């Protein structure tokens, strides 16, 4: 796996939000999740659309006897589902985030990512991975958030990022180290939050299984959009909403 010119970046939702803004995707943010209970997910949904989940866990090489997940073969990957093999070591986090936004039909990608999605639409997963690695705008945005030890190879734990997304009634796990997408389960398309329950079950299994250290983030609509809309509906007279909006603005 290549990637000497892709640096290591901090695993921070604020950093990932700014990274997306750097490539022109300005109406999306990442939010850390401390729980997967119903109240947490409902509160998140109330703030705006949830486009996908990113599961970060400490990666360990599996024993040869460990069961392999069932992945879709290349000729069975649905048209319109963006899945890329990971060919660049340090691009793991960026690739997982791209796997979410490039599979959403409701995200305003901006010119750079829209062009990238259109250009790679007919590519197989291997070439999609190469295209990510070779994209100067994406790599430049990624490296802008490099750590001070960005290009050092030490003894730190290795972490991996996996995306969970809803797509046309199916929840997929997208892991660039796997040969293909993994079908997690089905959801009701007319119930916008039902896919979260399907993804939650799969993630909880990972948390109690092979994941030693882990974290979870949601890729959501910029909270400022939903808050501003609600504030406008009140004629700007809701002090609580105004304070929440100010707090979100202060994070930027």
Of the listed 7, 25, 92, 142, which one is catalytic? 92
92 flagged as catalytic: yes
In the chain, the N- to C-terminal Cα span, in Å, equals: 34
25 flagged as catalytic: no
**Pair of tokens at residue 76:** 């069975």
How far is 176 from 212, CA to CA, in rounded Å?
A: 20
How far is 93 from 80, CA to CA, in rounded Å?
A: 22
SS3 per-residue string spanning 56-83? EEECCCCCCCCCCCCCCCHHHCCCCCCC
| Size of the chain, expressed as the number of residues it contains | 252
Of the listed 7, 25, 85, 160, which one is catalytic? 160
For residue 71, the 8-state DSSP code is -
How far is 165 from 104, CA to CA, in rounded Å?
A: 8
Q: Please state the separation of Cα 111 from the chain's center in Å.
A: 19
Q: Active-site positions?
A: 92, 160
């Amino acid at each position: 796996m290549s990637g000497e010119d892709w640096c290591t970046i901090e695993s921070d939702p604020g950093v990932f939000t700014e990274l997306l803004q750097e490539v022109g995707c300005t109406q999306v943010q990442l939010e850390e999740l401390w729980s997967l209970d119903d109240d947490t997910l409902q509160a998140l949904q109330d703030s705006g659309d949830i486009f996908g989940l990113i599961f970060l866990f400490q990666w360990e090489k599996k024993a040869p006897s460990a069961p392999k997940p069932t992945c879709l073969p290349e000729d069975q990957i649905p048209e319109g589902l963006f899945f890329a093999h990971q060919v660049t070591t340090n691009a793991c986090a960026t690739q997982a985030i791209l796997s979410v936004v490039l599979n959403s039909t409701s995200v305003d990608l901006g010119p750079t990512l829209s062009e990238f999605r259109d250009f790679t639409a007919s590519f197989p997963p291997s070439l999609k991975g190469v295209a990510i690695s070779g994209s100067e705008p994406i790599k430049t945005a990624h490296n802008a958030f490099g750590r001070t030890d960005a290009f050092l190879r030490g003894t730190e734990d290795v972490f991996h990022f996996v995306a969970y997304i809803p797509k046309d009634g199916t929840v997929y796990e997208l892991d660039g180290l796997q040969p293909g997408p993994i079908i997690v389960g089905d959801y009701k398309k007319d119930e916008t939050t039902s896919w979260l329950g399907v993804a939650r079950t799969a993630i909880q299994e990972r948390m109690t299984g092979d994941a030693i250290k882990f974290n979870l983030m949601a890729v959501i609509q910029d909270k400022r959009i939903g808050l501003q809309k609600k504030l406008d509906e009140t004629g700007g007279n809701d002090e609580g909403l105004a304070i929440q909006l100010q707090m979100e603005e202060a994070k930027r």
